[in-house]
Structure 1
Amino acid sequence: MQFGIFSVGDVTTDPTTGHTPTEGERIKAILTIAQKAEEVGLDVFATGEHHNPPFVPSSPTTMLGYLAAKTQRLILSTATTLITTNDPVKIAEDFAMLQHIADGRMDLMLGRGNTGPVYPWFGQDIRNGIPLAIENYALLHRLWRERVVDWKGKFRTPLQSYTSTPAPLDGVPPFVWHGSIRSPEIAEQAAYYGDGFFANHIFWPKEHTQRMVDLYRQRFAHYGHGSPEQAIVGLGGQVFMRRNSQDAVREFRPYFDNAPVYGHGPSLEEFTSQTPLTVGSPQQVIDRTLSFREYVGDYQRQLFLLDHAGLPLKTVLEQLDLLGEEVVPVLRKEFAAHRKPGVPDAPTHAARKAVAAAAQPETGR
């Protein structure tokens, strides 16, 4: 099982000090956080994609390409690549290039994002969100698997004898997660292609996440990719830890209360009881995270949101120390001990390359 962190890249004023980082400071902080994730033994770092304040990650592959040169083991991914407003031809090029630069240590998560105005900024209509996601991915999927593509659709100009360059590393396309908060159509899309499904899992009750994952698993099996238990599932999560749970609640409360995403709404206590947000001791985070398996089954990737709501870099790095030293080692052991036989490992380029090689017909005999 893979463990990691994802960043939405918000630039938020620290409510306890009044300090607002510059965009440059926030970008450099994200890079520091990603490298720290590898240092403490995590497997994955993922960045969001946004094109509006107060967020800074407008060019994920630029950031991930830099991190590929600064890390040795970390899998580099996205927490959202906007399949609706990015040209699938450019996605194919950018992420195949990243795949080569990172020697296969990458994948990506496709999504529609949560910012309505981004659609007209990139010449699209939000009312076409789901059809755009479906059509654009159908093209992207082909671009990574066919050397010459002829294509015609509704939302972009046709392609005639087009070849995307570079071709995927080792002939193995990047692994794709389809990310969703609330759209069953995206779970269906992931199942149709046999790709991974990532349930955001940070805003809604567990019953909602359970329904979405169950739908994906059943449809994965329906399309002949394997049993429901063999479907590839990832979950998001949010944590804030101190060794004493009361200290964690006291320190995190002002950040929660003023966060641009969920501040000025339900109380911290209401939110932690109704969603997977966990604020407390490392043991409480371990117990809560292990409980996810009770309603989604065995899964392959767990990403945590740590660096948001104006939390200073020093605090985030302290969170990473706790996550890497006290939480993830226990989670690895416990999830492995209880995993049912036949559940696949998390996807990696090396493993997928081996499967592709084994599937090639033998020659010369």
Structure 2
Amino acid sequence: MQFGVFTIGDVTPDPTTGRTPSEAERIQAMVTIARKAEEAGLDVFATGEHHNPPFVPSSPTTLLGYVAGATERITLSTATTLITTNDPVKIAEDFAMLQHLAGGRVDLMLGRGNQGPVYPWFGQDIRQGIPLAIENYHLLHRLWHEDVVDWQGKFRTPLQGFTATPRPLDGIAPFVWHGSIRSPEIAEQAAYYGDGFFHNHIFWPKEHTQRMVELYRQRYEHYGHGRADQAIVGLGGHVFMRKNSQDAIEEFRPYFNDAPVYGGGPSLERFMDETPLTVGSPQQVIDRTLSFRDYVGDYQRQLFLLDHAGLPLKTVLEQLDLLGEEVVPVLRKEFAARKPDHVPEAPTHENRLQAQHQDSEGSAA
């Protein structure tokens, strides 16, 4: 089981002081968070991709390339890479390059994005979001798995005898998670290719998450990739912790009330009751996170959002300390004890390379 953090890179005023960090400060803070996540013993750091205010991570591979040089162990990922408005050729080449620079500790999460105005900025139509996601990934998959590609589709110019460079490290393409909150077509796509399915698990009640994951698992088995309970599932989540739960609620409330993704909606208490948002003590975060397994089954990756809504960097780093010292060690132990042997571990470049070698030796024998 992998544990990590993801950031959406929002530049939001601190509601308790009124101060807004500069873009430079926010970008450097994201680097600091990534380094701290590795120091705290986490497995994954992931960044979103946005091309509009109040967000700054418009170039995830640039950020992750820099973080790769500042870290040694942590897996670098995205949350999300926009498969709809990015050229699949550029995605193929950028992430293969990042793979080489980071020694393989790279994967990515593909998504359609939820910012309508972004589509025309990149020459696309949001009404074509699902067809774009399906066609563009089909091309991306071929670019990573075939040395020479001939291609003709609806949304980009044809390719003739094209080879994406560099080729994936060790001949193993970066592992792909298909991220979706509400689109069954994306769960179907993940299942068809035998890729991972990531449900952000922040805004919706658990019944919705359960239905989406169950659909993916059923279709994964249908396509012959393994049993339904062996499908590769990841979840997001949002937490804020203090030793005392009431202190956590009191401190977090103004950030929740003004947050770009929460502000103006239901109360904090109602949101915590109806969604997986957890504000409280480390033990409450442990208990709530363990409960996710009750309705999605055994899964491979859990990412937490910690730095949203103008929280000061100092506070975010304190959250990482609590996560690394008090929460994740317990979660690792408990999830490991409950996982059946036939359920796979989270895919990494190292274990996929090892499996490739074993398959080669088996074929030779």
Calculate the TM-score normalised by the size of structure 2. 0.99
1:358, CA displacement in angstroms?
A: 2.2
Where do residues 20-169 of structure 1 align in structure 2 (5 Å cutoff)? 20-169=20-169
Amino acid at match of 2:42: L
Q: Look up the match of 2:234.
A: 234
Runs of 4+ with >3 A deviation:
361-365
Once the two structures are superposed, what CA deviation does each residue of 1:287-314 show, in whole Å capped at 9, x if it has no partner?
0000000000000000000001000000
Equivalent residue for 1:320? 320
Corresponding residue SS for 2:145: coil
- Return the offset for 1:359: 2.3
CA offsets 1:302-331 (integer angstroms, 9 cap, x no match):
000000100000000000000000000000
**Structure 2 gaps, min length 5:** none
Q: Residues of 2 paired with 1:340 and 1:354: CA distance? A: 21
**Does residue 257 of structure 1 match 2:244?**
no
Measure the CA separation in 1 of the matches of 2:132 and 2:337. 41
Secondary structure of the 1:21 match is coil
Q: How far apart are residue 364 of structure 1 and its match?
A: 8.3
- The separation in 1 between residues aligned to 2:224 and 2:335, in whole angstroms, is 27
Corresponding residue number in structure 1 for 2:335: 335
Shift of 1:363: 8.6
Cα deviation, 1:235-280, whole Å, max 9, x if unaligned, reads 0000000000000000000000011111111000000000000000
State the Cα distance separating 1:77 from its structure 2 match. Answer: 0.1
Q: 1:120 Cα shift?
A: 0.1
2:198 counterpart of 1:198: yes
Identity %: 80
Q: For the structure 1 residues 39 and 51, does the alpha-carbon distance in structure 2 shift closer, same or farther, using more than 3 Å as the test?
A: same
Matched with 2:356 is: 356
Any unmatched runs of 5+ in structure 1?
none
Q: Distance in 2 between matches of 1:192 and 1:313?
A: 40
Task: For 1:299 and 1:23, locate their aligned partners in 2 and report how far apart those are by CA, in whole Å.
Answer: 35
The amino acid across from 1:331 in the alignment is L
Q: How does 1:4-19 map to 2 (within 5 A)?
A: 4-19=4-19
* Structure-1 separation of matches of 2:340 and 2:207: 22
1:360 aligns to what SS in structure 2?
A: helix
Within 5 Å, give how 1:242-321 maps onto structure 2: 242-321=242-321
CA deviation after TM superposition for structure 1 residue 355, in Å = 1.4
Residue 157 of structure 1 deviates from its aligned partner by 0.3
> Quick one: distance in 2 between partners of 1:246 and 1:208?
29
| C-alpha distance in structure 1 between counterparts of 2:271 and 2:182, whole Å | 18
Shift of 1:170: 0.3
Residues of 1 paired with 2:58 and 2:271: CA distance?
A: 29
Give the partner amino acid of 2:131: P
- Measured against aligned partners, the alpha-carbon deviations of 1:86-145 in whole angstroms (never above 9, x if no partner) come to 000000000000000000001000001110011000000011000000000000000001
Letter in 2 for 1:257: N
Which letter maps to 1:80? T
* Cα 1:364/1:44, change in 2 over 3 Å: closer
Structure 1 distance, partners of 2:245, 2:144, is 48
Q: Partner amino acid for 1:342?
A: H
AA of the residue aligned to 1:124 = Q
Q: Deviations over 1:129-181 (max 9, x none)?
A: 00000000000000001110001000000000000000000000100000001
Measure, in 2, the Cα distance between the counterparts of 1:362 and 1:322. Answer: 45
Aligned AA for 2:124?
Answer: Q
SS in 2 for 1:144: helix
Query: Paired residues, what number?
Result: 365
Q: 1: distance between equivalents of 2:363 and 2:223?
A: 31
Relative to structure 1, is the Cα distance of residues 276 and 363 closer, same or farther in structure 2, using a 3 angstrom cutoff?
closer
Q: Using the alignment, how far apart are the partners of 2:361 and 2:307 within structure 1?
A: 47
Q: Which residue of structure 1 lines up, in the alignment, with residue 213 of structure 2? A: 213
Q: 1:274 is matched by which residue type in structure 2?
A: E
CA RMSD of aligned residues (A): 1.0
What secondary structure, in the 3-state scheme, does the structure 1 residue paired with 2:98 have? Answer: helix
